[in-house]
Amino acid sequence: MNTQQTIIVSNEGRVKGELWADKLIVSGLVEGNCYADTIQILANGKINGKIYSDNLSIELGGCFLGETQLSITDRVIEHDETNIETLKTA
């Protein structure tokens, strides 16, 4: 999932895969890499994966299993625009 807004994973929420957001608030379970300016793991929250963020907070009772690195948004990634294909969803 990729958004420029806030993603909230509620108590009963379960996410498997990468999350890209401006802000990520987790009180459920996330399994996968997380990319956000701000990540909050609340008391019942759990992230299992890599976190790429400059601002991480974990409340008492929250759980983080994995690695953390500073945000990668400042890194330059070059790509070849000549081979870009537009995909349409049904």
- Enter the tokens of residue 24: 């990520």
Q: What are phi and psi of 22, to 5 degrees?
A: -70, -45
Cβ–Cβ < 8 Å for 27, 44: yes
Task: Please report the pLDDT score of residue 85 as a whole number.
Answer: 58
- Enter the tokens of residue 85: 């294909």
Cβ–Cβ < 8 Å for 51, 67: yes
% of residues, the chain, pLDDT over 90: 69
pLDDT (tens digit, 9 = 90+) per residue, 61-84? Answer: 999 999 998 875 555 455 556 655
The rounded Cα 23 to chain-centroid distance in angstroms is 8
A 10 A CB-CB count for 58 gives 16
pLDDT (tens digit, 9 = 90+) per residue, 24-40? Answer: 999 999 999 999 999 99
